[in-house]
């Protein structure tokens, strides 16, 4: 599989390894949206959540023969790539043994009000570094965290389209980033490499690269709840790789996580 991704520093195009099956742990809005795009792109998906395979019967039926349900451990074992689409509060429950040697996509975002973590609050670690420390035998790549599920489905475009949207990714393993960029390409997006997991804060909540580039400016005077609802329903806005790189380069690090 060939990708349309570009390194934020060099601008060079890259080539990624092949992916035929995505394991998905967590089937909330993000996991389900990615699964839909994966199936639409002609790949296979193995779905799992905390409630068991039987709870996924309707989603599997909707997605068709390219999808099947399993336990989180089985999804981890089956996937060429694994999407860990669970709340960050549940990262310690990921099947660590089955993820050894795997590339794990981390779309999790930190919400201090749910479960404060001192190392994140002090900016000693990024949330993805925390996940990587837990999954020491895996290769964690931060991706699919800064765009909403609705816009993931709306903004996908064929490779080479003039209005193709780019998504940021970060990781410590170059081959793993190639693999994730390859998946993003198949899903209909370019990718921009922001560097190691230590720099993944550049696309996290409370930066200019998080969510708003894909929806534009919200109306003034929204409450926090209204703001979240508006972002989730706003029409998608295409964002180029050059714009993603520009916003990442000028990002200023503030307090970690969602803070209104």
pLDDT in tens, 50-60: 999 999 999 99
DSSP state of 172: S
What pLDDT is attached to residue 30? 94
pTM above 0.75, yes or no: yes
Q: What average pLDDT does the segment 84-92 reach? A: 96
Residues contacting 105, CB < 8 A, separation 6+: 81, 82, 83, 84, 141, 143, 144, 180, 183
Place of tokens 């964690």: 140
Strand partners, 96: none
| Chain mean position to CA 136 | 19
What pLDDT is attached to residue 220? 85
What pLDDT is attached to residue 218? 85
Per-residue pLDDT at 8 exceeds 80: no
pLDDT, tens only, 126-162: 999 999 999 999 999 999 999 999 999 999 999 999 9
Q: Which tops the pLDDT comparison, 221 or 44?
A: 44
Q: Which tops the pLDDT comparison, 17 or 244?
A: 244
Q: What average pLDDT does the segment 25-46 reach? A: 95
Out of 72-76, 126-130, 198-202, 210-214, pick the least confident: 210-214
Instruction: Evaluate the CA torsion angle 146, 149, 155, 156 in order and state its sign.
Output: positive
């Amino acid at each position: 599989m060939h990708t349309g991704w570009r390194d934020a520093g060099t601008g060079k195009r890259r080539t990624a390894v092949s992916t035929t099956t995505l394991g998905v742990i967590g089937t909330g809005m993000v996991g389900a949206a990615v699964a839909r795009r994966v199936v639409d792109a002609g790949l296979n998906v193995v779905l799992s959540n905390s409630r068991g395979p039987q709870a996924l019967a309707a989603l599997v039926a909707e997605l068709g023969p390219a999808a099947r349900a399993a336990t989180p451990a089985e999804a981890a074992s089956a996937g060429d790539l694994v999407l860990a689409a669970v709340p960050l509060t549940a990262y310690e429950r990921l099947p660590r043994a089955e993820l050894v040697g795997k590339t794990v996509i981390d779309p999790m975002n930190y919400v201090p009000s749910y479960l404060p973590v001192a190392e994140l609050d002090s900016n000693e670690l990024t949330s993805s570094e925390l996940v990587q420390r837990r999954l020491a035998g895996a290769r964690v790549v931060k991706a699919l965290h800064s765009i909403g599920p609705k816009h993931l489905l709306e903004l996908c475009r064929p490779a080479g389209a003039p209005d193709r949207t780019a998504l940021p990714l970060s990781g410590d393993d170059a081959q793993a980033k190639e693999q994730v960029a390859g998946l993003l390409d198949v899903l209909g997006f370019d990718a921009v490499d922001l560097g190691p997991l230590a720099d993944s804060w550049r696309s996290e909540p409370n930066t200019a690269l998080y969510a708003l580039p894909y929806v534009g400016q919200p109306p003034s005077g929204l409450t926090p709840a209204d703001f979240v609802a508006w972002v989730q329903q706003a029409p998608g806005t295409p964002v180029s790789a050059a714009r993603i790189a520009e916003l990442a380069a000028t990002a200023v690090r503030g307090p970690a996580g969602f803070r209104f």
